[in-house]
Amino acid sequence: MNDDIIKTDSYDFDYRIEKGVVMAFFYDELDVHCRALEPIMEEVADIYYDFIRVIAVEVEQSPDVASIFAIDTLPTVIIFKDGRIGARITGINPPNVYENAIEDLL
């Protein structure tokens, strides 16, 4: 993942999502679908660099966070605004799906 995406875990997840618009990418490093979505997440992170934060949560390393948000399908992207869920997107989608969800929350 590029530098625009912040890897996070159980210890700082709540802090990372509490203010502003944050796109959380829940993934598993070994999952082929998650690896396929990674370049799209990087592209969206680049486009919205000045407006949102993009974080990545590896579900094997943070099972408690994955459980709280009922992550049962990978990849899953949850977009938060000030700590509250604004959008939830599962599977691999084109960039405009994520961009539209972000625009709705900005």
Pick from 55, 82, 53, 57: which is nearest to 69 by CA?
A: 57
Q: Which CATH number fits domain 5-105: 1.10.3720.10, 1.10.238.10, 3.40.30.10, 3.30.1330.10?
A: 3.40.30.10
Instruction: Tell me the whole-structure pTM to 2 decimals.
Output: 0.94
Average pLDDT across each block of 10 residues of the chain; the chain has 106 residues. List them in order.
Answer: 86 96 97 96 94 96 96 97 97 96 96
Helix/strand/coil for 23: strand
pLDDT of residue 4: 83
Measured between alpha carbons, how far is 47 from 13 in angstroms, rounded to an integer?
23
pLDDT of residue 102: 98
Pick from 48, 30, 45, 27: which is nearest to 91 by CA?
A: 27
Parse the chain into domains and list their residue ranges: 5-105
pLDDT of residue 1: 66
